[in-house]
A = this chain, B = another copy of it.
Amino acid sequence: MKTTINEIARIARVAKSTVSKALNGHKGVSEEKRQYILELAKKLNYEPSATAQALASNRTGSIGLLIPHEAAYSLSGAYWSAMITAIAQTATRHNYSLLILTTPHEGEISAPINTVIRRRNVDGLIIGAEQIDAAATSRLIEEEIPFVFIGRNSWIHHYAVDVDNLGGSERLVSHMIEQGYRKIGCLGGPPQYLYTQERVQGYQRALQKAGITWQAMYYTEYKSEETRRVLGEMLQDHPDMDALCVTAGGDLLLDCIDVLRLAGIHLKRFGLGAFDDYRFFDYLDIPVCTVRQPIDRLGELAASMLFSLLHHRKPPVMQQVLDVELILR
């Protein structure tokens, strides 16, 4: 039924080890035999068994992507979907498969990591830098399972792809200043995330360069209730605020719009800037200026970097930082 290496060896009257070498481009086979074997393999429509190769060579031929719980939500879903597609396509080009790993509950990173370590069902991992903790990171390193971060960490310098958070944020806020806003507040995501810190820095740098001293900095962990409470306080403390820069997009921004509307703020005259771009911002009656990340490129690069590691080639750089695009509205 299915063509195996044995079948080819039998027909070609050579040892299966010879077939294996020929097929894998290893040396130790005469060019003549190699050609013959390759043709035969093609004629017989031979495809190696992924499973057998995996067992014999101790590599699975697949990589894993750990996706966070929130990927199931509408807006961050768009991000993850693009990421998954980009990574899957890159993997296919490299003859690898992409395995999706999820956490059973929010933030429970250890379950999927343990499974991967014990079952050895992937050769390497791609992980969001914010998703993982130091303990899980150490275990992966100990077990010698290669991995690449999407985004960076403040507590470990590791292979990663990231975007220019600081620059993007600075350009965003500078643009808002150009538009005439002078009292721009900033609502940051979780302060322990490196990207939050960088985006906040960008905000501050833009203000500084423009010589603006007015500043208002608040943080939220992305929980809807907390966001509403914090932004409410922010508006009370700074009733003169005329614009808001949010260090993330999606649902966080929608929550903010709710609060601003409830507070009776005239949003057409209020400046709004955010990270991550969504087409539907074009349809709001509020102009939202955003920073767009090149999600496809991020995924592609993360995968390529991981494949370099899997082939024991050092990636050209340890941390690749991509430019972002300012979307004016």
Contacts and interface: CB of A to CB of B under 8 A. Distances in A.
Interface string A244-263: 00000001001001000000
A62 interface: yes
B278 A119 contact: no
A284 B280 CA distance: 9
Interface residue SS majority, chain A: helix
A121 B47 CA distance: 11
B119 A49 contact: yes
A212 interface: no
Interface string A75-112: 11111111011101100100001111110100000001
Interface stretch (A52-60, A159-167, A189-197): A52-60
A100 B88 contact: yes
Interface string A35-74: 0000000000101111110110000111000010101111
Contacts of A61: 121
A222 to B, nearest CB: 15
Interface string A277-295: 0111011110000000000
A82 B70 CA distance: 9
Nearest to A102: B88
Contact of A119 (B50, B67, B79): B50
30 contacts: A45-B118, A50-B60, A51-B60, A51-B121, A52-B55, A54-B54, A54-B55, A55-B55, A67-B84, A69-B85, A72-B86, A74-B280, A75-B78, A77-B78, A77-B81, A78-B81, A80-B81, A81-B81, A81-B84, A84-B84, A84-B100, A85-B102, A88-B100, A88-B102, A92-B102, A254-B283, A257-B283, A283-B284, A284-B284, A285-B285
Q: 10 tightest A-B contacts by CB?
A: A77-B81, A47-B118, A77-B78, A72-B85, A51-B54, A81-B81, A50-B121, A88-B102, A280-B280, A88-B100
